[in-house]
Amino acid sequence: MTDTSLALGAVRRMDRVVLATLGLFTLLLVAVPGQSLDSLIFTFDSLVFIAPYLLASVLVAASVKATGLDRQIAVVFSGRQAPVIFLAALFGAASPFCSCGVVPIIAALLASGVPLAPVMAFWIASPLMDPEMFVLMAPVMGLEFTLAKTLSAFSIGLIAGFATHALVARGAFANPLKAFDGGRGSGCGGPRLDGGTKLLWRFWREGGRRALFAAEARATGWFLFKWLTLAFLLESLMVAYVPGEAIASSLGGDSPWAIPLAVIIGVPAYLNGYAAIPTVSALVDLGMAPGAGLAFMVAGGVTSIPAAMAVFALVRRPVFLWYLALGLTGSLAAGVAYQAYVTL
């Protein structure tokens, strides 16, 4: 076998996400050396910033699996859907998980058999608001805008949950998770607990549960790391060549298309979360419609590029498209409703 054949075989065995990341960075290094360094720094800084949230999410997901709590949650969530969806949306709006950090949590819940409807309610609401964001946003954006975003998070999550429940009742979204190697999704490749295992909070006392925790943490951590590295690399190019501030500043209050355009632009611009607070505040002061500002933040929060890529790799295509549709229509409705309120 020739060296070329060996090299091609090694490339084929490489993870496609890792291969895409290396290929894109190599292309930048050759074609735009200056941007390659900027993108490398941007990607590194983004990973460092999000690392504590991702670490917390990975540890929570692995602990839920190792303790057997996922089975207990599945039993509880399999009851009456109306109160469960309500509580899932409420908890999501108050939880501290970002749009990327919530991915391993929803993966663990779906893999354990929790119905898609309450998971979707939590999934949509969680990245939009949390107590820390509320405290930081209120003095900058004003209490009225902050309350509007909080209500939007809960309302969009609630509507997403009930809409998903209605579709699932008609046979949609069977087996929402894709199957992945290394414990992701179907759980193949990692140790398992048998179906009769009871809840055990001190899981580290049993070797099998320690092994399950370690396997789940490794699989989840690697899954998120590789996808987010590629996503942040792509985002760096969006920031460099499609500046969100310049686009958003054109979305003034006089245009009837301000809010729909804010929703469409909110995803690629990736202006959400804590970094969006001072930027959107300044843009609103410069004339951006308040409803467009809210829609811009909500759309980016639900369907940000890194989160969307991780979700695409995690769930089957119909679920992914439904997730996008819920995020986009929900942010549009939130923006229109808030703009109508402020213009009364």
> Does 11 map to a domain?
no
Q: What SS3 string covers the chain?
A: CCHHHHHHHHHHHCCHHHHHHHHHHHHHHHHCHHHHHHHHHHHHHHHHHHHHHHHHHHHHHHHHHHHCHHHHHHHHHCCCHHHHHHHHHHHHHHCCCCCCCCHHHHHHHHHCCCCHHHHHHHHHHHHHCCHHHHHHHHHHHCHHHHHHHHHHHHHHHHHHHHHHHHHHHCCCCCCCECCCHHHCCCCCCCCCCCCCCCCCCCHHHCHHHHHHHHHHHHHHHHHHHHHHHHHHHHHHHHHHHCCHHHHHCCCECCCCCHHHHHHHHHHHHCCCHHHHHHHHHHHHHCCECHHHHHHHHHHHHHCCHHHHHHHHHHECHHHHHHHHHHHHHHHHHHHHHHHHHHCC
| Mean per-residue pLDDT of the chain | 77
- What's residue 190's pLDDT? 39
> Does 8 map to a domain?
no
Q: Between the CA of residue 173 and those of 123, 125, 199, what are the distances in Å? A: 16, 20, 29
* 186-232 pLDDT, tens digit each: 333 334 444 445 777 888 888 888 888 888 888 878 877 887 788 77
* 66-112 pLDDT, tens digit each: 887 767 766 666 667 888 899 888 888 887 666 666 777 777 778 77
Among residues of the chain, what percentage have pLDDT more than 70? 76
> Does 120 map to a domain?
yes
* 18-55 pLDDT, tens digit each: 888 899 899 999 998 888 899 999 889 888 887 887 78
> Does 2 map to a domain?
no
Average pLDDT on 314-341 reads 90
- What's residue 273's pLDDT? 58
Q: Which of 140, 106, 116 is nearest to 297 (CA)?
A: 140
> Does 131 map to a domain?
yes
Which of 19-28, 64-73, 261-270, 281-290 holds the top average pLDDT? 19-28
> Does 238 map to a domain?
yes
CA pair distance 229, 250, nearest whole angstrom: 31
> Does 45 map to a domain?
yes
Report the number of distinct structural domains present in the chain.
Answer: 1
Measured in degrees and rounded to the nearest 5, phi and psi for residue 252 equal: -75, 170
- What's residue 246's pLDDT? 59
- Give me the domain span that covers residue 182: 16-342
> Does 273 map to a domain?
yes
CA pair distance 17, 25, nearest whole angstrom: 12
| Total Cβ atoms within 10 A of residue 326 | 23
Q: Is 171 left (phi over 0), alpha (psi -120 to 50) or beta?
A: left
Average pLDDT on 126-145 reads 81
- What's residue 163's pLDDT? 95
